[in-house]
């Protein structure tokens, strides 16, 4: 084992380091949380990275994306290229595949299916639901990380990490995912218009950009990568749900049991049903965007 991992090995052993080295990890969303995650995975010694993000870096990202340099061209820089640079700057020997497409595209699905673990670092409930389904179907451990700042009268801020590791708990049955928002996001323009006509204009349709800061992203990314690390190396089983309440200064671990009849954990987990993801997705939601 390389000397650069000596301090890792002293923590979780040669076998743990070898397991990390053999891991190929997909990071979906190379943004405020995703850039932290990529950097930490590289330091841990993960062997392969699949980077999936269809967006370019924007000017307002400069306050929190680790690895983004002051003179990087914005606009004009793809987030997957930033992710690659972050990883390679730490470990040039990493195997990296970049997919500058939505994860809900043929290219995104193909890339996702080449990984053994998945990090979801996105801000769309629809994508979260998609990843929940995809990972459950193919028994891929899925770590979802999200921050939240609610600029209301009583300011609340923090985030949470939800880990669907072995079919015993996911964002849906732990009540983390906003199903209505997810289905609206996946339903397309007609569904959004219909819903707006009934309920008024949704917050998400206003294309509002919320507050976001580097430290909250860093806390949540670190918690997410730690749960991944302990799971892969065998230090302990990852926790299903961890919530950071920054306004209170505390991290809580949920002891809630997942729903025993969860469709994703019990019905889909491990590919039962035997369908291939692409056909399943096309049948259920139509042909993915190119």
Partner 1 sequence: MVRMVIEAERFDTLLQHLFPEDFAGERAAFLFAKTVSDGGTVQFEAVEHLFVDESGVRYSSLGYLELTDETRGRVIKRAHDLETSLVELHSHRLPFPAEFSPTDIDGLREFVPHVWWRLKGRPYLAVVAAPESFDGLAWIPDTERAERLDALVIGDRVIQTTGRSIRGWYQAYGRSI
- What are the residues binding partner 1 (CB under 8 A)? 22, 24, 47-48, 50, 95-97, 106-107, 109-111, 113-114, 116, 138-140, 270-271, 274, 276-278
Nearer to partner 1, 114 or 193 (CB): 114
Cα end-to-end distance, the chain, whole Å: 41
Q: To the nearest whole angstrom, how small is the minimum distance from the Cβ of residue 19 to partner 1? A: 9
- Judged by beta carbon, residue 33 or residue 135, the one nearer partner 1 is 135
Residues in the chain: 290
Closest CB 8 distance from partner 1, rounded Å: 20
Query: Measured between alpha carbons, how far is 191 from 185 in angstroms, rounded to an integer?
Result: 8
Handedness of CA 195, 200, 202, 208 (dihedral sign): positive
CB of 86 to partner 1, least distance (A): 17
State which residue, 76 or 290, has the beta carbon closest to partner 1. Answer: 290
Spatial CA neighbour of 282 closest among 130, 81, 141, 177: 130
CB of 201 to partner 1, least distance (A): 39
Quote the CA–CA distance of 242 and 161 in Å, as a whole number: 5
In terms of CB distance, is 84 or 227 closer to partner 1? Answer: 84
Min separation Cβ 77 and partner 1, Å? 22
What value, to the nearest 5°, has the Cα angle with vertex 41 and ends 29 and 25?
A: 60
Q: Of 45 and 218, which CB lies nearer to partner 1 in the complex structure? A: 45
Give yes or no for a contact between 190 and 197, defined as CB atoms under 8 angstroms apart. no
């Amino acid at each position: 084992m390389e000397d650069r991992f000596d301090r890792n090995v002293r923590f979780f052993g040669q076998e743990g380091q070898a397991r990390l080295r053999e891991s190929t990890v997909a990071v979906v969303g190379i943004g405020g949380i995703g850039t932290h995650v990529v950097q930490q995975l590289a330091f841990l010694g993960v062997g392969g990275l699949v980077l999936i993000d269809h967006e370019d870096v924007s000017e307002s990202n400069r306050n929190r994306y680790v690895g983004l340099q002051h003179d990087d061209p914005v606009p004009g820089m793809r987030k997957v290229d930033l992710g690659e640079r972050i990883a390679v700057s730490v470990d040039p020997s990493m195997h990296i595949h970049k997919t500058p497409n939505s994860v809900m595209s043929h290219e995104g699905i193909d890339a996702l299916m080449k990984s053994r673990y998945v990090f979801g670092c996105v801000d769309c409930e629809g994508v979260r639901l998609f990843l929940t389904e995809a990972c459950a179907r193919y028994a891929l451990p899925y770590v979802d990380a999200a921050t939240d700042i609610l600029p209301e009268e009583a300011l609340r801020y923090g985030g949470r990490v939800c880990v669907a590791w072995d079919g015993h708990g996911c964002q849906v049955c732990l009540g983390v995912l906003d199903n209505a928002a997810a289905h609206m996001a996946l339903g397309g323009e007609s569904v959004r218009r219909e819903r707006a006509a009934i309920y008024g204009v949704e917050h998400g349709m206003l294309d509002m950009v919320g507050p976001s800061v580097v430290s909250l992203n860093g806390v949540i990314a670190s918690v997410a990568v730690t749960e991944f690390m302990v799971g892969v190396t065998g230090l302990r089983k990852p926790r299903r749900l961890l919530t950071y309440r920054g306004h209170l200064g505390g991290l809580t671990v949920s002891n809630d049991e997942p729903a025993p009849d969860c469709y994703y954990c019990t019905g889909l987990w491990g590919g039962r049903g035997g369908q291939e993801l692409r056909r399943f997705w096309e049948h259920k939601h139509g042909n993915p965007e190119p």
